[in-house]
Chains A and B, each alone.
Chain A
């Protein structure tokens, strides 16, 4: 699960998606909104065929986030499964 939050600007989706594509990460689901100029995007991605592990992917996405001036956080889907489903 990739979450991106920050001030809206051109190229956020492209920047994040290019990191994912570079490592063969498949985007399974994506939802994105802009409310009062705050950009928010949540992506479900599949890293089973990726060429990096989740730790390395997080590092690169966070770097890309810093370049774009947005907050990027990466969590395993199990965190949501455990906390939001009984």
Chain B
């Protein structure tokens, strides 16, 4: 097979100068065989189930990265929702122990993060869910690699406002590094490779490899090279670039799966940003022609971008999975963080952006003394969007003690600097105290 020099040059530019890499290889493992009626037995059974996979995971990923010459930034593990493991125990102390055990295992085997310290409570809370929720703040505060979520809403069942309220209280009880590993979610798919949304879905086989791609820098360069192009031409160019980015994820997924001897699951075609310069989704939107992300035109630009990424990525992957939209974390993306610090990106703008992306409000800083009512109400707004637009969305807020809007707090590493945004001018929102579960919308009826 021959390649034109231009074709080779294009790929080299993406890999060498535009920060194109694989954000995460996420091995998803069924840990339900570890269910035991006693906590100590559960911990050892969990290790027994995971050890054969963990032993081979990082070496396999490193072999593939070396063979292809492609950078793979993080290696992750997703486990079955821990709430299910807790059903026979119903014990919050056991839940904390499970989190710490997963944290130790991850460290021992060179796994960057473990996802699945989670529960699905969109229609109510079961015995295991309750134990997990009571343990969540302490579990995440006392670990460094464990991530989790509470799925509090779904198109099929509506929004559990009681669970939203509880999630808001939990977030406000977390340290910044812990809150960065927690999200409240709606309609979460079973094969998310990104944290904190990753868990081993109930419809999956015993183990499966899911891939998260990166590459905003590639698309930003494409957009910058077309300063005169109309939006349809721009859309087409973004689509072509997204195809190539996603293909790299497909290749790495197939190779890692082969290396590990487990099925290849899916590629999440969202191009994940990082705090590095030239690796920002917001920079793409600004390159399209916005003075700052958050300015009028932001939703139009984001919708154009998301649609092009989906259409380009769809053909590149044998199975698309996870969230597969656009990621717009406020930290983890230097240009988003700047816009938030300058005040051009408010929670109202982020809520509107959630309508045309697939993450919702992600990695936004809030003052540590933010009102629980206002935080819960903000979460409820995004959950309502998810249910009525029938899509996955989440809210990941990072409370910063003593901070006020406009402050910046450095979380370090891939998390970057969190900009603190004003939650609301109202601290008391009586609607939240009503509680209960809001029924599903007509989207539910369309499904029969």
B-binding residues in A (CB < 8 A): 1, 3, 29, 31, 42, 53-55, 58, 71, 73-86
> Which 10 A-B pairs rank lowest in CB-CB distance, beginning with the nearest?
A75-B69, A55-B66, A82-B251, A82-B247, A83-B244, A76-B68, A84-B7, A83-B247, A3-B12, A83-B11
| Interface size counted on chain B using CB atoms at 8 A | 23
Closest to B251 in A: A82
Known contacts A73-B15, A75-B68; is-contact A82 B250 (Cβ 8 Å): yes
With A75-B15, A84-B11 known, 17 other A-B pairs at CB within 8 A are A31-B5, A42-B8, A53-B67, A54-B66, A54-B69, A55-B66, A55-B67, A73-B16, A74-B69, A75-B68, A76-B67, A79-B11, A79-B70, A79-B248, A79-B251, A80-B3, A82-B250
Judge whether B1 is part of the interface by a CB distance below 8 angstroms: yes
Specify which chain B residues have a CB less than 8 angstroms from the CB of A42 in the assembled complex.
Answer: 5, 8
Interchain CB contact under 8 A, A54 and B11: no
Interchain CB contact under 8 A, B68 and A81: no
Closest to B10 in A: A84
Closest to A33 in B: B5
Query: Shortest CB–CB separation between residue B87 and chain A, in angstroms?
Result: 43
A-B contact pairs, 23 of them (CB 8 A): A31-B5, A42-B8, A53-B67, A54-B66, A55-B66, A55-B67, A58-B69, A71-B16, A73-B69, A75-B68, A75-B70, A76-B67, A76-B68, A78-B251, A79-B15, A79-B69, A80-B3, A80-B8, A82-B251, A83-B11, A83-B14, A83-B247, A84-B11
Interchain CB contact under 8 A, B8 and A54: no
Q: How far is the CA of A32 from the CA of B15 in the complex (A)?
A: 20
Query: Shortest CB–CB separation between residue A50 and chain B, in angstroms?
Result: 13
Closest to A56 in B: B66
Instruction: Tell me the dominant secondary structure on chain A's binding face.
Output: mixed
Q: How many A-B residue pairs have CB under 8 A?
A: 62
Interchain CB contact under 8 A, A73 and B67: no
Q: How far is the CA of A31 from the CA of B9 in the complex (A)?
A: 12
Q: How far is the CA of A58 from the CA of B66 in the complex (A)?
A: 9
Q: How far is the CA of A29 from the CA of B8 in the complex (A)?
A: 13
Specify which chain B residues have a CB less than 8 angstroms from the CB of A71 in the assembled complex.
Answer: 16
Q: How far is the CA of A4 from the CA of B2 in the complex (A)?
A: 18
Closest to A54 in B: B67
Q: Of residues 58 to 75 in B, which have CB atoms within 8 Å of A's CB atoms?
A: 66-70
Known contacts A71-B16, A82-B251; is-contact A76 B7 (Cβ 8 Å): no
Specify which chain A residues have a CB less than 8 angstroms from the CB of B11 in the assembled complex.
Answer: 75, 79-80, 83-84
Closest to A1 in B: B8
The one of B8, B69, B244, B250 in contact with A76, judged by C-beta atoms closer than 8 angstroms, is B69
Specify which chain B residues have a CB less than 8 angstroms from the CB of A75 in the assembled complex.
Answer: 11, 15, 68-70
Q: How far is the CA of A73 from the CA of B17 in the complex (A)?
A: 12
The one of B8, B70, B250 in contact with A3, judged by C-beta atoms closer than 8 angstroms, is B8
Specify which chain A residues have a CB less than 8 angstroms from the CB of B5 in the assembled complex.
Answer: 31, 42
Specify which chain A residues have a CB less than 8 angstroms from the CB of B251 in the assembled complex.
Answer: 78-79, 82
Specify which chain A residues have a CB less than 8 angstroms from the CB of B12 in the assembled complex.
Answer: 3, 73
Query: Shortest CB–CB separation between residue B437 and chain A, in angstroms?
Result: 46
Query: Shortest CB–CB separation between residue A61 and chain B, in angstroms?
Result: 11
Specify which chain A residues have a CB less than 8 angstroms from the CB of B247 in the assembled complex.
Answer: 82-83
Q: How far is the CA of A3 from the CA of B244 in the complex (A)?
A: 19
Q: How far is the CA of A80 from the CA of B70 in the complex (A)?
A: 12
Known contacts A3-B8, A73-B16, A78-B251; is-contact A84 B69 (Cβ 8 Å): no
Interchain CB contact under 8 A, B68 and A79: yes
Query: Shortest CB–CB separation between residue B214 and chain A, in angstroms?
Result: 14
Interchain CB contact under 8 A, B16 and A84: no
Query: Shortest CB–CB separation between residue A39 and chain B, in angstroms?
Result: 14
Q: Of residues 1 to 42 in B, which have CB atoms within 8 Å of A's CB atoms?
A: 1-3, 5, 7-8, 10-12, 14-16
Query: Shortest CB–CB separation between residue B130 and chain A, in angstroms?
Result: 46
Query: Shortest CB–CB separation between residue B358 and chain A, in angstroms?
Result: 24
Q: How far is the CA of A18 from the CA of B83 in the complex (A)?
A: 59
Q: How far is the CA of A76 from the CA of B252 in the complex (A)?
A: 12
Interchain CB contact under 8 A, A82 and B248: yes
Query: Shortest CB–CB separation between residue A48 and chain B, in angstroms?
Result: 13
Specify which chain A residues have a CB less than 8 angstroms from the CB of B69 in the assembled complex.
Answer: 54, 58, 73-76, 79
Specify which chain A residues have a CB less than 8 angstroms from the CB of B10 in the assembled complex.
Answer: 84
Specify which chain A residues have a CB less than 8 angstroms from the CB of B250 in the assembled complex.
Answer: 82
